A and B are shown apart, each in its own frame.
Chain A
Amino acid sequence: DAGVTQSPTHLIKTRGQQVTLRCSPKSGHDTVSWYQQALGQGPQFIFQYYEEEERQRGNFPDRFSGHQFPNYSSELNVNALLLGDSALYLCASSRSGNQETQYFGPGTRLLVL
């Protein structure tokens, strides 16, 4: 049983570019949450997707957008990248009805130059 997988593992972009990160949830999970973890900090909630819709959103600008597909996988898109967007982006999946149990993927480390 595969856990949460994320791709790519590492990514280097320049300011102003756009990036798409991908997440496949754990088998049987239908809810995907995205977090940003800056170096030396705890993760910060970006948004959560369920039934292909954004259900909740944290304090992030509209440059951060996402999508969930019918197979429950999800994408995180960030437009007009800033240096401050450099971070580890974590995806967590859970099952509706048991959302307190989240499983995290290994993350995508994004470096913006």
Chain B
Amino acid sequence: TQLLEQSPQFLSIQEGENLTVYCNSSSVFSSLQWYRQEPGEGPVLLVTVVTGGEVKKLKRLTFQFGDARKDSSLHITAAQPGDTGLYLCAGDRGTYKYIFGTGTRLKVLA
């Protein structure tokens, strides 16, 4: 059973476009994280959100945690080829035993 579903699974867009990736669950999480993983490397932590309704911005990336702490979204403004990678959300239910989502593979074309 996959507790965290991400959508879309794949996304191919042109440089300069905006996009949103979703991470949904029927379970409540204490915190939720977003990672980016590039081929041949481990995931790199982008952000941790802990409060329902919380919004965090990291340059062109905006992360939101749902009010009920069951879902999250990642919005990228004016995507660049360097944003290409696998985006993963990961939830924690207070035990630091992170449950990862299915991943969204993003490709930004120049």
Residue positions of A touching B, CB distance < 8 A: 4, 33, 35, 40-45, 48, 56, 58, 90-92, 94, 99-107
Stretch at the interface among B12-20, B62-70, B74-82, B89-97: B89-97
Q: Distance in Å from the Cβ of B1 to the closest Cβ of chain A? A: 10
Using known A-B contacts A105-B42, A106-B41, determine if residue A100 contacts B92 with beta carbons closer than 8 Å.
yes
Known: A101-B45, A106-B41. 11 other contacts (CB 8 A): A41-B103, A43-B88, A43-B100, A56-B97, A58-B97, A91-B42, A92-B42, A99-B96, A100-B31, A102-B45, A102-B98
Task: List B residues at the A interface (Cβ < 8 Å).
Answer: 4, 6, 31, 33, 40-45, 48, 88, 90, 92, 95-103
**B33 in contact with A100 (CB, 8 Å):** yes
Q: Across the interface, which residues of A come within 8 angstroms of B102, CB to CB?
A: 41-42
Asked if A56 and B48 make an inter-chain contact with CB atoms under 8 angstroms apart, the answer reads no
* Contact sample, A vs B, 20 pairs, CB 8 Å cutoff: A33-B98, A35-B100, A42-B6, A42-B101, A42-B103, A43-B100, A45-B97, A45-B98, A45-B99, A48-B96, A56-B95, A56-B97, A90-B42, A90-B43, A91-B42, A100-B31, A100-B96, A102-B45, A104-B43, A107-B42
* A interface secondary structure, majority: strand
Task: Please measure, in the bound complex, the distance between the C-alpha atom of A10 and the C-alpha atom of B36, giving whole angstroms.
Answer: 22
8 closest A-B pairs (Cβ-Cβ)? A104-B42, A42-B100, A99-B96, A43-B100, A42-B103, A56-B97, A104-B43, A90-B42
Complex CA gap A61/B33 in Å reads: 27
**B35 smallest CB distance to A (angstroms):** 8
Assess A56 versus B96: contact at CB under 8 Å? Given A42-B103, A100-B31: yes
A103 contact set on B, CB distance < 8 A: 45
* Chain A residues closer than 8 Å to B98, beta-carbon distance: 33, 45, 102
A58, B100: Cα distance in complex, Å: 12
| B48: chain A residues within 8 A (beta carbon) | 100-101
- Looking across the interface, which residue of chain A has its beta carbon closest to that of B96? A99
Please indicate the chain A residues that have their CB under 8 angstroms from the CB of B99 in the complex.
45
Assembly CA distance A107 to B96 (angstroms): 20
